[in-house]
Amino acid sequence: MDRDKIERSLDFYQKSIACNEKFIEIDGFLLAICYVVLGEFNIAQGLFEKSCMSMFGPKKVWEISAHPDWFVDVWVLSGRKDLYPKIVESLEIFQKDQMKSIANSLLTQYSCCLVELLHPTGTDISKWIQNLTTDTRIKDMFAIGQVIQAIIDRDNNAVNAAMEKLLIAHT
Same domain, 107 and 139: no
Q: What is the mean pLDDT of the chain?
A: 84
- The CA distance from 56 to 118, in Å, is 20
Q: Are residues 33 and 57 in the same domain?
A: yes
82 shares a domain with 10:
yes
pLDDT over 90 (residue 36): no
Domain count for the chain, please give it: 2
Same domain? 114 vs 138: no
CATH code at position 26: 1.25.40
pLDDT digits (tens, 9 = 90+) for 108-121: 888 999 898 888 88
Same domain for 22 and 68, yes or no, is yes
Give tens-digit pLDDT for 42-75: 998 998 898 888 888 777 778 888 888 888 988 9
Q: Are residues 89 and 132 in the same domain?
A: no
Domain membership of residue 153 as a residue range? 124-171
Asked if residue 44 lies in contact with residue 32, where contact means CB atoms within 8 angstroms, the answer is yes
